[in-house]
């Protein structure tokens, strides 16, 4: 239920306690709580509304592997890798021991086009959803970074040039949380997420991009 019964002897803010033996009865269109008589002479009651749990449509912390995830390098030598980060500026996953990164122990290379795609998530009949994940970025300034793309189940982008999704080109000093409401084009259908690393032909290069704890809820 999304409601709880609370009791107070004097209406003071810190005196309200949960009535654990309360029973909820449905009477037509109405609901009624019943409970045993308290030990003190005077009591006040209130009904509190609690936030129902949010449904989770997709969740991945990479601790049990990465079933259904796909890493593709179409240009250059850098590949997305799953494991324990041991980079110059990052030596720990956000949670647990494993994360995905664009080379776990070395800088990315020049002229790279490398993508990491999630499994297909079924958002059919879902009209509102939020994406959140944790990331770390260490790239060279000017034309290098990671582009977040939303694809249909066939791997085609839902947005022209992905301008309305996300681009990560500013370095972070630690794991950072990213959240966004999925746009209307990405709900009520099956989708994939893609993180696309792009680098130019100049160095030096940084540790790249690391990803952990991806959730769609």
Q: What is the pTM of this model?
A: 0.77
Phi, psi of 160 (to 5 degrees): -70, 120
Please give the Cα distance from 108 to 80 (Å, whole number): 10
Give the tens place of pLDDT for each residue, 152-197: 999 999 987 655 578 899 999 999 999 999 999 999 999 999 999 9
- 108's tokens: 């990315």
Question: Measured between alpha carbons, how far is 62 from 101 in angstroms, rounded to an integer?
Answer: 11
Write the pLDDT tens digit of every residue in 24-48.
Answer: 888 888 888 888 888 777 899 898 8
Nearest to 116 by CA among 84, 152, 146, 83: 146
| pLDDT tens by residue, 133-145 | 999 999 987 779 9
**Given the structure tokens 């956000």, which residue do they identify?**
94
For the record, the structure tokens of 158 come out as: 């839902």
């Amino acid at each position: 239920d999304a409601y709880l019964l609370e009791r107070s002897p004097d209406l003071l803010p810190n005196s309200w306690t949960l009535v654990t033996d309360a029973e909820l009865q449905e009477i037509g269109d109405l609901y009624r709580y019943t409970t045993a008589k308290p030990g003190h002479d005077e009591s006040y009651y209130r009904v509190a509304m609690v936030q129902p749990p949010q449904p989770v449509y997709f969740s991945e912390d990479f601790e049990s592997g990465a079933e259904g995830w796909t890493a593709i390098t179409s240009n250059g030598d850098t590949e997305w890798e799953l494991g324990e980060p041991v980079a110059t500026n990052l030596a720990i996953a956000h949670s647990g021991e494993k994360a995905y990164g664009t080379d776990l122990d070395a800088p990315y290379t020049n002229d790279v086009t490398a993508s990491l795609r999630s499994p297909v998530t079924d958002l059919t009949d879902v009209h509102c959803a939020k994406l959140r994940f944790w990331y770390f970025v260490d790239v060279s300034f000017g034309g290098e970074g990671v582009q977040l793309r939303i694809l249909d189940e066939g791997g085609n982008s839902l947005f022209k040039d992905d301008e309305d999704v996300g681009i990560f080109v500013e370095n972070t000093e630690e794991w950072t949380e990213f959240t966004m409401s999925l746009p209307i084009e990405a709900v009520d259908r099956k989708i994939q997420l893609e993180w696309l690393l792009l680098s130019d032909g100049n160095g030096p290069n940084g540790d790249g991009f690391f990803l952990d704890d991806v959730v769609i809820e």
